[in-house]
Amino acid sequence: MLEKEAMLREMTSKAALPLIGAAVLSTAFQRVYAQDDPRPTVRTEMLVSTTWLQQHLNDHDLIVVYIGRDRSQFDSGHIPGSRFVRLDELVEQHKDSLNELPSVEDLQATFESLGVSQQSRLILADDTGGVLAARAFFTLDYLGLGDHAALLDGGMKTWKAELRRTSKEEPLVARAEFIPHVHRDILVSTAQMRRLSFGAGKGVSDYALLDARPVAEHTGIVNSESISQSGHIAGSRSLYWKRLIRSDADPQLLSPEELQQRFQDAGAGSSRTVVTYCRTGMQSSFTYFVARYLGYRAAMYDGSIYEWVRTAGNILVRSPALQRATATHQQKHLTR
């Protein structure tokens, strides 16, 4: 009890409330979001249309990066001039965590091999509705190149559906150089997530914890793949990443007004910091991107549920309605 009260005092102190632990997130949020008006402002430069891209394909320093799990889709036809990067070059697998960021040196080498420099303007695309492209954006944001990157709205699905020109040729790329300015502040650790969860549960948090998994996984009706527990991190709300696009067949983003309403309905008021998570840090990358696009202060719990349940003392909770239904079912079973 005394330990919980001490944690609560820590969360409500002036030093702790502005940002997580002040040691990790504050610098970046002041850097990226310092503004007199606390209301989020849509960062339109973070999203480009297929029409815009077709008109700017020959722009100097413009680089289209295709992110894929393998080369099959890319090799069958891609946006002319695109450069391919495999997802495995952007994430690492560990025993207790999946899809972790590799070392800065490895990430730097990957993007430099694609010809990325400090002057590059990067357009990110995939064939998976935007999740892989969003993961690449998160990675670039981590390296300090987020302001140089944008997602292609609708990705390759929209490009192909509109019968725009594709190519099977891959350009020769000269290696470039850039200096990473690492923003470790957009990463939330398990220990920090535990404090945020405690604060949200007590109603003293300035953070909106958003679960990007399907609703049934958030509520606890079904378990996420390879996750021994059902439910969500206490204090979090559901915002399934696919609720931010039109449909699987047409994965363009909803309008900014519709997106803003989705975030507000999930408890992300205009002055709150958004912290996203999912199963392994992939789906939440998309929610992270959209939060940044809408102008929110944002960070991501990259370890997500997979790492959470493998850390001693951490549990998941199920939605109250589901808990009540389960309790009622068990009671009826006992009284038979």
- Contacts for 192 with CB less than 8 Å, ≥ 6 apart: 20, 21, 24, 301
What mean pLDDT is predicted for residues 52-76? 97
Q: What is the mean pLDDT of the chain?
A: 86
Checking if the pLDDT of 315 tops 50, the result is: yes
State the Cα–Cα distance between residues 270 and 15, nearest whole angstrom: 21
State the Cα–Cα distance between residues 305 and 329, nearest whole angstrom: 27
% of the chain surpassing 70 pLDDT: 83
Segment among 23-27, 37-41, 104-108, 284-288 with least mean pLDDT: 23-27
State the Cα–Cα distance between residues 94 and 171, nearest whole angstrom: 34
How big is the chain by its Cα radius of gyration, in Å?
A: 21
By residue count, the chain amounts to: 336
Please calculate the CA angle 284-62-46 and round it to the nearest 5 degrees.
35
At residue 244 the predicted structure's pLDDT band, cuts being 50, 70 and 90, is very high
Token pair 């990790």 is found at 24
What's 18's DSSP letter?
Answer: S
Over residues 252-265, the pLDDT tens digits come to 999 999 999 999 99
State the Cα–Cα distance between residues 88 and 86, nearest whole angstrom: 5
Checking if the pLDDT of 69 tops 90, the result is: yes
- The CATH class of the 44-182 domain is alpha beta
Over residues 196-227, the pLDDT tens digits come to 999 887 776 789 999 999 999 999 999 999 89
- Whose CA is closest to 146, among 170, 121, 163? 121
At residue 313 the predicted structure's pLDDT band, cuts being 50, 70 and 90, is confident
SS3 21: coil
At residue 269 the predicted structure's pLDDT band, cuts being 50, 70 and 90, is confident
State the Cα–Cα distance between residues 215 and 322, nearest whole angstrom: 12
Backbone angles phi, psi at 124, to 5 degrees: -105, 135
Is pLDDT larger for residue 136 or for residue 29? 136
What strands lie across the sheet with 121-125, from one edge to the other? 47-48, 149-152, 121-125, 62-68, 83-86
**Residue 264 neighbours by CB distance under 10 Å:** 13
What strands lie across the sheet with 237-238, from one edge to the other? 237-238, 207-211, 273-277, 298-300
Task: State the pLDDT at residue 38.
Answer: 56
Task: State the pLDDT at residue 98.
Answer: 81
Per DSSP, helices labelled H in 274-319 are 283-293, 304-308
Checking if the pLDDT of 190 tops 60, the result is: yes
Checking if the pLDDT of 295 tops 60, the result is: yes
Indicate the helix (H) or strand (E) that contains 284: helix 283-293
What mean pLDDT is predicted for residues 32-51? 75
At residue 325 the predicted structure's pLDDT band, cuts being 50, 70 and 90, is very low
Task: State the pLDDT at residue 328.
Answer: 39
SS3 140: helix
State the Cα–Cα distance between residues 205 and 315, nearest whole angstrom: 20
Segment among 173-177, 272-276, 281-285, 326-330 with least mean pLDDT: 326-330
Token pair 């800065």 is found at 104
State the Cα–Cα distance between residues 177 and 108, nearest whole angstrom: 8
SS3 87: helix
Cβ atoms of residues 83 and 170 within 8 Å: yes
Checking if the pLDDT of 230 tops 80, the result is: yes
Checking if the pLDDT of 15 tops 70, the result is: no
Question: pTM, whole model, 2 decimals?
Answer: 0.86
21-46: burial string, b at 16+ Cβ within 10 Å, e else: beebbeebbeebbeeeeeebeebeeb
Domain range 2-38+185-320, its CATH number among 3.40.50.2030, 3.40.250.10, 3.20.20.450, 3.40.720.10: 3.40.250.10
Residue ranges matching CATH 3.40.250.10 in the chain: 2-38+185-320, 44-182
Task: State the pLDDT at residue 251.
Answer: 98
